[in-house]
A = this chain, B = another copy of it.
Amino acid sequence: MNRFIIVTIVLLVSCLSASMVSAGAKGKKIIHDAEYAILEAQNGKQWAEDDKAIDKKLAELRKKNGGKPPNFIYILLDDVGFGEIGMDELSVIRGYKTPHMSKLSKEGMSLQRMYTEPSCTPTRVAMMTGRYPTRTGTTEAKATLAGDGLNAEEITIAEVLKDAGYFTSHVGKWHLGDIEQAYANNQGFMHAEFPIHQQGQLAIMGRDMETVDIIRGVDPSRQKQTFTLDKLFVPDPAHMVTGVELRDGKLYEVDLKEGEEWNQKKYREMNERYQKHALSQLRTLAGQNKPFFLNYWPLFPLSFVQEFRSEYNTLNGGTMADILVEVDEWIGDIIQEVDKLGIAENTVIIVMGDNGPFLAYEGPTGQSDRIYRGGKTDHLEGGVRVNAWVKWKGVIEAGSFAGDIFHVSDLFTTLARLGNAMDGVPRDRVIDGVDQTGILLLGEGHGRRDYVHIYEGPTLKSVVKNKYKMHLPAPGDNPIAAPIFDLYRDPREKRPMDAIKYGPWAGGQFAGMVKRHMALKQKYPDRPPVFDIPYKGIENLRPETQKLLEVFMLGLPQKK
């Protein structure tokens, strides 16, 4: 087949894929990105065979488990990129170890090509909705008051699983917005306890935190303010809402009382509470006659205050390195609890990082830019490659690796499949997450993705296909000259490959990928960001929060 014919087929398949779409109805085909149709046309037969084997296996497993699909525990760690955790041979050269995650890697499968989004909120959006964040209008939630967050129209994996009979429980960081529709309890979680914002508030802006080495110097009360007109342009965590909990259907703030200040001690207490509650939730959930989805997103290891606790001092000595060792123990405790409860064979445990290390604060935290170049916020591999393990005792091969490309959005579709809940996956919008159950149940090489589109916020910055990655040219520039990297040979994306060898074919094909990806958006446009007044639906707002909110409203376009 010559190139012309290939291109023709490709376009045909792509059109076909789009034409199958019809809004909303269940039972229809999921609308994947254009690229998927090309893979399906080439591999569909094999996938159909795989599907039979997968369905058979899942049915057997449900039968063994009293008709129920497996429980899910999903632990997502903040700002921990590839090589930071669960690889003691590697972390030992950086002066610490995470033995519990290293043990997990030997008990489960390592997804060695897991891609996330380049920062917290987008990764969490992708996991929850199965969609690239830009499609949902939620590309970044803020650390301060913002009035934005995940649209109620989005359908989360928590909603999908809940509808299929799961008990859904969220504990820890949420960071999908400070508006009511975005709260965990309004996005499918039956149990929910989480801070409204994130560590930008909780781990940095406390009065005592501002005096420590790393972030010293921002406290305005210690500096002359002659020219200050806006006294609210200051770090002020205590006026914002901190942690909230759902009790009898209502949401209450639980961490601060009127007049109290936020500090490192409270941040630690909040973290320890979430860990304690994750464990107690686990025990409660295991005692119910329902499958469960426990979504536990710790705030730690993010920490910028050196606590000098001798049991967690490391050779590295960085604030995050030390706390990583503690969090590793916490994860070990959860895995151990699953064993103790006797539910290991019915429980899928997933542990992973949410994006690369934030290089803006590497150094004192003990993190670094290593293996891959770049970190949080970057489209470079260092921003979006993380360690990820899946353990399912007796089902997933212990100590196995999968080199297949996996995107965090695939968890949405894959959990839906494992949870016997595929009918809940919406058919009226593009779902980027592809079903990767084959990798877990049949092993490496059974993946259904060879591409990732990497966005920074709403901007498409690079595209991965197989082992190649193109850094996108500026609009109007010829893709033949855009830099293309071989990720196996050049994981740090340092040396673009010879343009004369790769430009004419790969450059052109990459440009085609981008065109198809963008063309599908004409039919299914990205959702615009949603805006609402923050903190609605929280029962016990403190007076200082009310005041902060009033000032925030002053800055808005006055609609009334």
Contacts and interface: CB of A to CB of B under 8 A. Distances in A.
A494 interface: yes
A13 B161 CA distance: 71
Nearest to A366: B489
Interface in A48-105: 82-83, 87-90, 92-96, 105
Given A113-B93, A371-B370, A371-B371, A490 B363 contact: yes
Nearest to A365: B489
Given A89-B112, A105-B89, A495-B363, A489 B401 contact: no
Contacts of A494: 368-369
B491 A93 contact: yes
Interface in A371-385: 371, 385
Contact of A89 (B89, B95, B367): B89
B492 A369 contact: yes
Given A89-B87, A89-B89, A94 B315 contact: no
Contacts of A95: 403, 467, 488-489
A242 interface: no
B315 A403 contact: yes
A476 B278 CA distance: 60
B370 A89 contact: no
Interface of A: 82-83, 87-90, 92-96, 105, 110, 112-113, 315-318, 321, 362-363, 366-371, 385, 401, 403, 467, 486, 488-492, 494-495, 497
A90 B368 contact: no
Contacts of A321: 488-489
B93 A82 contact: yes
The 6 closest A-B pairs by CB, nearest first: A95-B488, A316-B488, A92-B112, A366-B489, A94-B488, A92-B401
Contacts of A495: 362-363
Given A315-B467, A467-B95, A467-B315, A492 B370 contact: yes
Contact of A368 (B87, B113, B491): B491
A110 B89 contact: yes
Is the contact region of chain A dominated by helix, strand, or loop, or is it mixed?
loop
Contact of A92 (B94, B317, B403, B489): B403
- Counted per complex, copies of this chain come to 2
Contacts of A316: 488-489
Given A368-B491, A488-B315, A491-B368, A112 B93 contact: yes
A89 B495 CA distance: 24
A371 B369 CA distance: 8
A91 B371 CA distance: 11
A489 B82 CA distance: 15
Contacts of A497: 363
Contacts of A488: 93-96, 315-318, 321, 366
30 contacts: A82-B93, A87-B87, A87-B90, A88-B401, A89-B105, A89-B401, A93-B112, A93-B371, A93-B403, A93-B491, A95-B467, A95-B488, A315-B467, A315-B488, A316-B488, A316-B489, A317-B488, A318-B489, A321-B488, A321-B489, A362-B490, A363-B486, A363-B490, A363-B495, A367-B489, A368-B491, A368-B492, A368-B494, A369-B492, A370-B491
Nearest to A96: B488
Contacts of A96: 488
Nearest to A381: B93
- Among A315, A316, A370, A489: residue with most chain B CB under 10 A: A489
A489 B315 CA distance: 9
Contacts of A318: 488-489
A90 B371 contact: yes
Nearest to A495: B363
A490 B318 CA distance: 11
Given A403-B315, A488-B316, A83 B92 contact: no
Nearest to A110: B89
Contacts of A113: 93
Nearest to A369: B492
Contacts of A490: 362-363, 368
Given A362-B495, A401-B88, A403-B315, A489 B368 contact: yes
Given A87-B89, A321-B489, A370-B492, 9 more contacts: A90-B90, A92-B401, A93-B113, A93-B385, A94-B491, A362-B490, A363-B497, A368-B491, A369-B494
A93 to B, nearest CB: 5
A112 B91 CA distance: 10
Contacts of A94: 488-489, 491
Nearest to A490: B368
Nearest to A86: B89
A85 to B, nearest CB: 11
Contacts of A403: 92-93, 95, 315
Contacts of A368: 489-492, 494
A363 to B, nearest CB: 6
A110 B91 CA distance: 13
A495 B368 CA distance: 10
